[in-house]
Amino acid sequence: MNGERRIYGYALLALLIWSALLGGLLWYNLEEARDHIDELARKEARASFNKDQAFRMWATQHGGVYVPISERTPPNPALAHVPERDLTTPAGEQLTLMNPAYMLRQIMEDFGALYGIKGKITSTKLMNPINAPDGWELAAIQQFEKGVSEIFEYSEINGEPYLRLMGAMVVLPGCLKCHGEQGYQVGDIRGGVGVSIPMQGYFADLKVVVVQQVVTFGVLWLIGVVGILLLTLLAQLRRRERRLRGEERERYYREIERANAELIQFANISAHHLMEPSRRLLLFARRLQERSEGIANDEESRLALEYIQQGATRMRDLVRDIERYLAAALPRGEVRAHDPAPLLAKLQHHLLTGEGHPQGAQIIVESLPPLCLDLPRMSDLFAVLISNSLIHATSERQPLVRIHGESLPDRVRVRIEDNGPGIPAEYRERVFKVFEHLGANPLAGTGIGLSIARRIVESSNGQIWIERSPLGGIAVVFEIEKGEGGRVKF
């Protein structure tokens, strides 16, 4: 559940980052497009403005232009104060002076379609009321008087969008011929000239760009969103699959554990049931041997009885060791530090006086720290290890087993050394396997003893191995942890 929520969290974060990124880029692109359109419109406005100015300058340079008087071009009353406003050519043609503003206005009126963008000249001190400024133009002229030289603005004229440009008109010496009367001096702001660029075409272009960008980025965004959603789904599926696999494995383990437990129980019961008949077999074989003494004196019968007895002994030992092996993995009493000394004394007595062990054997127990193990398994452990040494004793020497141990920081190490025939290094690991015999005599021991020892030690997190013994034979060494929480103190 928690993991699922985390995946959704990451997905949401990825979506937010993706959206912000594309949104930002789109916004930037649209800003750029708008700036570009604005730049183009300004350029057009300046070009148009400069062309008007060039005309005006040219006309001013020549102190105005004389043209034939006609109905369209009557003498300008505003120029009445200029001497020689009207002239007659030697051929008798009537000419009149045209001022720059008048000239330009006429060009615009007569050739509007060719001329293109209409300009307007205006001032706060009018010579001709036609040139009266509107509100925006008036404000612009006031700005010029403060030192600004050009003003742009987007605005609407008759409901249509326009970019308006207004530039200052400064009084030059040439202007004074006609405007000197009004009290102007060179360098004064006479007024302004404006052009208005219709923006409809530009805005239509901009709209196309905006639609293109929005569609492009929208598609890109959608692809990203689908990708993120797919990845989220995939992660979710993989997580679910992993969880299912974990559950399956657990079920499988439980199944194995159950089967294992059943098997051990079956083996335990079988061994238990086999024990009684094998004991009885041995008992009656012995009894029969005692009774038959002096009756069945022939060699064959004697041998047969001996074999029966040997077989019965072996069967009993095998069943006993199988029981020990099965019981080796789990404690059968309180697991804590126990002093092994009393237990060893009992074992010593039992092993040295019991049947089948070599005469004159000696078991020396030296200092031994307490061992953290339940008593029944500790008894089994020492029993199988000492037995193992005694069983493999050679007839040449008097069998000797020495047991001693030492306390390490977190473990106890115990050594069981003998003076037997020893085991070549390459076999020292193999002998821990069940039914691994090395000796020539397969009847010596059950072949399970060392496996029992290993099972007891390893199920207590310990280790067991074989080394050379200073006494000449082998040394079985095992280490067992001291136990937890300082429960074991020495």
Among 169, 391, 475, 476, binds ligand HEC (CB under 6 A): 169
> In degrees, to the nearest 5, what angle opens at C-alpha 261 toward C-alphas 260 and 266?
95
Between CA 452 and CA 380 the distance in angstroms is 8
To ligand HEC, the closest distance from the beta carbon of 113 in angstroms equals 22
> In degrees, to the nearest 5, what angle opens at C-alpha 313 toward C-alphas 307 and 316?
140
Between CA 131 and CA 122 the distance in angstroms is 5
Which residue, 171 or 271, has its beta carbon nearer to ligand HEC? 171
Half-sphere exposure of 374 (CA within 13 A, CB side): 14
> In degrees, to the nearest 5, what angle opens at C-alpha 449 toward C-alphas 428 and 275?
160
Which residue, 84 or 355, has its beta carbon nearer to ligand HEC? 84
To ligand HEC, the closest distance from the beta carbon of 162 in angstroms equals 21
Q: Based on the shown chain and the rule CB under 6 A, indicate whether residue 191 belongs to the binding site for ligand HEC.
A: yes
Contacts of ligand HEC in 102-131 (CB under 6 A): 102, 121-123, 126-128, 131
Among 178, 326, 452, 466, binds ligand HEC (CB under 6 A): 178
Residues 6+ apart with CB under 8 A from 306: 289
* DSSP label of 168: E
To ligand HEC, the closest distance from the beta carbon of 60 in angstroms equals 4
Closest residue to ligand HEC, based on beta-carbon distance: 175
To ligand HEC, the closest distance from the beta carbon of 107 in angstroms equals 12
Which residue, 178 or 271, has its beta carbon nearer to ligand HEC? 178
Strand partners, 296: none
Which residue, 166 or 375, has its beta carbon nearer to ligand HEC? 166
Q: CB–CB of 242/40 below 8 Å? A: no
Which residue, 166 or 393, has its beta carbon nearer to ligand HEC? 166
Between CA 286 and CA 279 the distance in angstroms is 11
Which residue, 97 or 140, has its beta carbon nearer to ligand HEC? 97
To ligand HEC, the closest distance from the beta carbon of 176 in angstroms equals 8
Contacts of ligand HEC in 63-102 (CB under 6 A): 63-64, 76, 78-79, 97, 99-102
Nearest by Cα to 405 from 438, 437, 365, 374 = 365
To ligand HEC, the closest distance from the beta carbon of 30 in angstroms equals 39
> In degrees, to the nearest 5, what angle opens at C-alpha 353 toward C-alphas 351 and 357?
65
The residue written with tokens 């009756």 in the block is 295
**Residues in binding contact with ligand HEC, number by CB under 6 A:** 28
Exposed, middle or buried, 115 (CB in 10 Å: 0-12/13-18/19+)? middle
Q: How far apart are the first and last CA of the chain?
A: 50
To ligand HEC, the closest distance from the beta carbon of 76 in angstroms equals 5
To ligand HEC, the closest distance from the beta carbon of 124 in angstroms equals 9
Between CA 166 and CA 188 the distance in angstroms is 17
Contacts of ligand HEC in 411-440 (CB under 6 A): none
Using CB under 6 A, which of the segments 172-180, 275-283, 303-311, 461-469 binds ligand HEC?
172-180
Nearest by Cα to 362 from 419, 414, 406, 439 = 419
Using CB under 6 A, which of the segments 22-30, 60-68, 300-308, 343-351 binds ligand HEC?
60-68
**Interface positions with ligand HEC (CB under 6 A):** 60, 63-64, 76, 78-79, 97, 99-102, 121-123, 126-128, 131, 169, 171-172, 174-175, 177-179, 190-191
